[in-house]
Amino acid sequence: MANKWGIPKEVEEFVLRRDLFCVYCGVDFSINHQSRKTKPSWEHIVNDICISTINNIAIICTSCNASKGAKLLEDWLDGQYCKSKGITKETVAEVVKKAIMNPPSLT
């Protein structure tokens, strides 16, 4: 299936196997898939759709996606939504921590 975000198939398959939980809030997709708020959606950790590598593509829940929108990751982590959910740089998934320390880029 071609991904409408232009994500290469091998990246898509890798990320689908890796991210069984929202990389931000940790919601478990396998048991919460009935709720619309926790439906998985594609995320570019750094908001650049040109960077479609496994270090920048992740799966997040609809709720986090709606809240983050086009915000910068670090600004979003400081915002109200993350505070209310207890999401911090320490609680996010490994791929996000790596992106904070060493942001993915095209080069």
User: What does the binding site for Zn ion look like in residue numbers (CB under 5 A)?
Assistant: 22, 24-25, 61, 64
Nearer to Zn ion, 22 or 77 (CB): 22
Distance CA 96, CA 19 (A): 11
Nearer to Zn ion, 53 or 85 (CB): 85
Beta bridge partners of 44: 57
Distance CA 44, CA 39 (A): 16
Nearer to Zn ion, 7 or 22 (CB): 22
Whole-number minimum distance, CB 2 to Zn ion, in Å?
25
